[in-house]
Amino acid sequence: MYSPIPQSGSPFPPTVKLPGLHIWRVEKLKPVPVAPENYGIFFSGDSYLVLHNGPEELSHLHLWIGQQSSRDEQGGCAILAVHLNTLLGERPVQHRESQGNESDLFMSYFPHGLKYQVRTHCPRPLLCFSLSSFLLVVTLQKAQGHSGLEPPPTRFLLACFPSCPVGGGMGCWWEGMGEAHSGWPSGLQEGGVESAFHKTSPGTAPAAIKKLYQVKGKKNIRATERVLSWDSFNTGDCFILDLGQNIFAWCGAKSNILERNKARDLALAIRDSERQGKAHVEIVTDGEEPADMIQVLGPKPSLKEGNPEEDLTADRTNAQAAALYKVSDATGQMNLTKLADSSPFALELLIPDDCFVLDNGLCGKIYIWKGRKANEKERQAALQVAEDFITRMRYAPNTQVRSPPCASTPSS
């Protein structure tokens, strides 16, 4: 049930104990440090470890799981989290974060918000380039002809070519992603260990960049990469069109002033962090699009209305839906024993010899309580226990997990 901690030298440097924020991308069971200038940028096909060391030895260790992250990457991230937690004396509070459903604490580390990016990867680029222009155009037309350009959350097609003509005319350029279909080569990913085929970095030539981000949220801002098309726009949200030397913050007619300010701030952050200040930022009002936007996106059609703001839903506090389970691995597998099926729970149930799951999964949260005298493997594998529990209970993959240090009582 539990994965062993690496017995050879630590994959983490001694600096992990220094105060501040530390971020690693998990790559083939190895933690790869993320440069500070790229903090807040997460690739949807990857998994990350985020460690924040605060004052008075207060630390929080977060596992961040991208929507398209593979099970292997997620498992590797959990194993490394066990190792890092042990290296730090099991002191950090552990959290499981999923793309688009991050906790307020996690969001507080990134004052400019989060930016979700995708990067293309073609396992057989020579095969792709060997296609004739006619066949390439036909393939892309089929992909574009599917119902809706907004891809499902688990099926993405990323074009191997940054800009391919489809049918002629500036309004028919395909870039970025669309729905997958049987006629396209397999293996195209968002991020992923091998997927550095089309990575945007501070050293990338600005003229080569063409990306579109949808900005969502009022309290916590998130920017998610979308298909470079008017079909991705709506009148209720704000969008950022990043063309390298020019960055446009487009504000839908029904977006509010706070959302517009957030989009502006994010556009400025992209300019300062990724372009070293060498880019022009322009705020664009719905209906007053400049020629540069029209040249890239084509003639503007009528846009759909936006959905109600998803990030301001009321807090889910249905305590009666909670349940308390005792965890045991005496047989080598996770065994759960339900101790109570409604709250408040008697604290006497939390004995120091065992680990427990406080199940509030119907409200989107799971807590792991670790007794100080509990089995060492049980304590170390708290987040792996949570993963197994979420799967067994068939809860949403984006369920949040919090695991305080030994003998701490979880708070809401």
Residue 323's CATH number: 3.40.20.10
pLDDT exceeds cutoff 60 at 318: no
CA distance 229 to 139: 18
pLDDT > 70: percent of the chain: 66
**10 Å Cβ neighbour count for 307?**
10
CA angle 34, 15, 47 (to 5 degrees): 35
Cβ–Cβ under 8 Å, residues 366 and 387: no
**10 Å Cβ neighbour count for 347?**
8
- Return the pLDDT at 179: 30
pLDDT digits (tens, 9 = 90+) for 233-290: 999 999 999 998 999 999 999 988 888 888 998 898 888 877 878 899 999 999 999 9
Q: Considering 267, 283, 313, which residue would you say is the last residue of a domain?
A: 313
**Axis crossing angle, helix 71-87 with helix 382-393, rounded to the nearest 10:** 150
DSSP state of 304: B
Whether residue 378 sits in one domain with residue 286: no
Q: 85 vs 156, 286, 300, CA distance in Å?
A: 34, 48, 51
- Is 28 within the bounds of a domain? yes
DSSP string, 337-361: EEEESSSSPPGGG--TTSEEEEEEG
Cβ–Cβ under 8 Å, residues 135 and 127: no
Whether residue 144 sits in one domain with residue 29: no
Give residue 37's domain range. Answer: 1-100
SS3 label, residue 44: coil
- Return the pLDDT at 222: 77
Q: Considering 100, 134, 151, which residue would you say is the last residue of a domain?
A: 100
pTM (2 decimals)?
0.54
- Return the pLDDT at 120: 52
Whether residue 91 sits in one domain with residue 55: yes
Q: Is the peptide bond before 344 cis (omega within 30 degrees of 0)?
A: yes
pLDDT exceeds cutoff 70 at 315: no
pLDDT digits (tens, 9 = 90+) for 332-355: 676 788 888 876 677 778 888 888
pLDDT exceeds cutoff 80 at 72: yes
CA distance 191 to 95: 22
| Average pLDDT of every residue of the chain | 72
**10 Å Cβ neighbour count for 129?**
11
